[in-house]
Chain A
Amino acid sequence: MPALRELQQALADAIFTREPARFAARVRSTGLPGAARLQVYQNNVFISLAQALADVYPVVERLVGEEFFHQSARAFIRRCPSRSGNLHDFGRELAMFLRGLPDARHLPYLGDVAALEWAYHEVFHAADAAPLDVERLAQVSEDAQDRLRFRLHPATRLVASGFPVLAIWEANLGDEPPGAQIDLDAGADYLLVARRDLDRVVQRLTQGEFALLAEIAGGATLARACDRATAADPATDIEAAVRRFVADRTIAGFHHF
Chain B
Amino acid sequence: MASRPLEVGASIPARAGIGLRAPHYRDVLDLLPRVGWLEVHSENYFGAGGRPLYYLERVRAQYPISLHGVGLSLGSTDALDLLHLSKLKELIDRIEPCFVSDHLAWSSVNGRYLNDLLPLPYTEEALAHFGRRVEQVQEFLGRKILVENPSSYLQYCESSIPEWEFLRAVAEITGCGILLDVNNVYVSAANHGFDARRYVDSIPARFVAEIHLAGFTRNVTNSGEILIDTHSKPVAEEVWPLYARVLDRIGEVPTLVEWDTDLPPLTRLVAEAHRADSVMEYRRARAA
Interface residues of A (CB under 8 A from B): 2-5, 7-9, 11-12, 15-16, 25-28, 30-34, 36-38, 40-41, 44-45, 48-49, 52, 81-88, 90, 123-129, 154-155, 195, 198
- Does any Cβ of A come within 8 Å of B254's Cβ? no
The distance in angstroms between the C-alpha atoms of A31 and B189, with both chains bound, is 12
- Does any Cβ of A come within 8 Å of B113's Cβ? yes
A4 touches B224 (CB 8 A): no
Contacts of A154 in B (CB 8 A): 49
A32 touches B223 (CB 8 A): yes
A27 touches B154 (CB 8 A): yes
Contacts of A25 in B (CB 8 A): 157
Q: Which of A44, A82, A88, A198 contacts B54 (CB 8 A)?
A: A198
Q: Which of A12, A28, A44, A128 contacts B110 (CB 8 A)?
A: A12
Per CB-CB distance, the 10 closest pairs between chain A and chain B, nearest first, are: A85-B71, A125-B47, A128-B49, A37-B154, A82-B113, A5-B77, A127-B48, A127-B49, A40-B153, A8-B109
Q: Which of B47, B48, B84, B156 contacts A84 (CB 8 A)?
A: B84
Q: Which of B48, B70, B114 contacts A128 (CB 8 A)?
A: B48
Q: List 21 A-B contacts (CB under 8 A).
A: A3-B158, A4-B77, A4-B120, A5-B77, A8-B76, A8-B109, A27-B154, A30-B192, A31-B191, A32-B191, A37-B153, A40-B154, A45-B116, A87-B43, A124-B47, A124-B51, A125-B49, A126-B50, A127-B48, A154-B49, A195-B49
Contacts of A84 in B (CB 8 A): 71, 81, 84, 113
- Does any Cβ of A come within 8 Å of B107's Cβ? yes
Q: Which of B174-212 contact A (CB under 8 A)?
A: 191-193
Interface residues of B (CB under 8 A from A): 43-44, 46-54, 69-73, 76-77, 81, 84, 87, 106-116, 118, 120-121, 123, 125-126, 129, 153-158, 191-193, 219, 221, 223-226, 228
- Given A85-B84, A128-B50, A198-B54 in contact, is the A34-B154 Cβ separation under 8 Å? yes
The distance in angstroms between the C-alpha atoms of A113 and B87, with both chains bound, is 30
The distance in angstroms between the C-alpha atoms of A52 and B107, with both chains bound, is 16
- Given A84-B71, A87-B115 in contact, is the A9-B110 Cβ separation under 8 Å? yes
Q: Which of B47, B69, B72, B191 contacts A88 (CB 8 A)?
A: B47
B77 to chain A, nearest CB (A): 4
Q: Which of B77, B87, B191 contacts A2 (CB 8 A)?
A: B77
B154 touches A28 (CB 8 A): yes
The distance in angstroms between the C-alpha atoms of A41 and B125, with both chains bound, is 23
A7 touches B116 (CB 8 A): no
Interface SS, B side: mixed
Contacts of A15 in B (CB 8 A): 114
Contacts of B70 in A (CB 8 A): 85
The distance in angstroms between the C-alpha atoms of A5 and B77, with both chains bound, is 6
A31 touches B192 (CB 8 A): yes
